[in-house]
Chain A
C-alpha cells in the first residue's frame, strides 16, 4: 500500500512565538488509539499520551520512543540535585526559540513561568529572541543553550566560565547541557513530523 502524507490546508499556523496552548497536527498517520499494540501502549509511558497524535505517531517505533520519554522526564523532572526546574525549562525554551520550534517554545515557556514566576522575562525571550536581557544568570544559561544548538556546536570554555561566574556549579552546568541538548532532539521531531495549530476555545494559560 502506498503511504501518503497528510496535509492541513485549512490550518492557520501560529506565526509568532506565543504562550498560548497550541495543538499539533501530524503529517503522517498515527496509529488509532484502539489499534495500539501492548508494546506501543507501554512505550507511551503515560497512559494519557494515547490521546496525543504526536506520541501515537512516535509509537510506530516504540523502543526509541520509550527511551526518549524516560530520558526527557529524568532530565527535566529529577530535581533531587542540580539545577532548579525553572532554569532547565529556560534552557528548553531558549533552545526552541533559537531552532524555531514555536510549539516547543510555547510549552516550555509556560513551564518556565510556572516554576520561576518570571512571566515578563519569559515573554521577552519569546518576543525579542535569545538576545533579550534576562539578567546575567539567565543570560548565561540562554547563551550556553544557543551555542549548543549551533551546528557545528559553538559551546566552548567561555560559556562554562560565564555559567560558573553566574553561580552554577558543575552539576548545574551538566543539567544545562542535558536540558539544552535534549531540546535539539525534541525540536527536530516536533518540527518535521507535523505542524502547530492555534486552538479554538482554549484560553491562553500560563
Chain B
C-alpha cells in the first residue's frame, strides 16, 4: 500500500488542486485523518481484529453508503487479504440486503418519542459463510451506520457472545465510526470540487 492520502483519493483531489491547497493549510487535520486510516487498516499489530475482518467490515460499510469510490477502495483492500470467493459474494449479498436510508431509531421514552423513526432491523443471512464473528459484526455495524441511537448493552453482549473481546469491540466501533467520517469528508469535498472555484 502506498502512502497516498486516502481522503484526497476518495474525493478525487489532485495534488495542487484548489481544494487540496485548502486542505494543505491544515496539515494536522490531513495527517491525523490519514494516521487514523493507517491505525485501522495498516495497524502495527492487528490485536483482536484480523486485517481481513477489518476490510470485510469496511467493504460492507462503504457499500451501505453507496459511495462508489469508497466501495471500490475498500473492496480492493479486502482483495489484498486473499478472501474466499464465497466471502466476497456473501458481502455483496449483505450490502444489497442492508441498504436503506438513515438516520432512524428510537429515543429513551419521553418527550422525544414523537421523533422516533422506524426503520430496517437488518439480520445477516449468509451466516454460514460469514461465520459467527463477522455475522455478528455486520449486524452491529449496520445499526451504527443507520440507527446508532438504537444502541444498547445487549447489542454489545451479542458481539461478546460471538467471540469479540472488549478491545476488539472498541476497534470495530472505531472502524465504523471513522469510516462514517472519512466517507462523508471525501463525499463533501468531491461535491465542492465539482462546482469549481467560487464565482
Binding site for B on A (CB under 8 A): 2-7, 13-17, 27-29, 57-58, 60-61, 63-68, 70-71, 73-75, 78, 80-82, 98-102, 129, 148-153, 155-157, 159-161, 164, 169-171, 173-174, 177-178, 180-182, 184-189, 191-193
Contact = CB atoms under 8 A, between A and B. Distances in A.
Interface string B35-62: 1101110011001000000000000000
Interface of B: 18-19, 22-23, 25-26, 28-29, 32-33, 35-36, 38-40, 43-44, 47, 64-67, 101-103, 105, 107-112, 115, 143-146, 148-149, 151, 153-157, 160, 165-167, 169-171, 173-174, 176-178, 180-185, 187-189, 191-192, 194-195, 197-198
A191 B112 contact: no
A70 B36 CA distance: 10
A103 B160 CA distance: 25
Given A67-B32, A185-B177, A28 B43 contact: no
A95 to B, nearest CB: 10
28 contacts: A3-B165, A5-B160, A60-B171, A61-B174, A70-B28, A70-B32, A70-B35, A71-B33, A74-B29, A100-B103, A100-B105, A100-B115, A100-B148, A101-B148, A101-B149, A157-B191, A157-B194, A171-B22, A174-B19, A177-B184, A178-B185, A180-B188, A185-B181, A188-B148, A191-B148, A192-B173, A193-B156, A193-B169
A149 B103 contact: yes
A39 B132 CA distance: 31
B185 A189 contact: no
A180 B191 CA distance: 15
A177 B192 CA distance: 10
Contacts of A192: 143-144, 148, 151, 155-156, 173
Contact of B156 (A27, A67, A102, A178): A27
Contact of A150 (B23, B28, B101): B101
B143 to A, nearest CB: 8
Given A98-B103, A149-B103, A188-B173, A71 B36 contact: yes
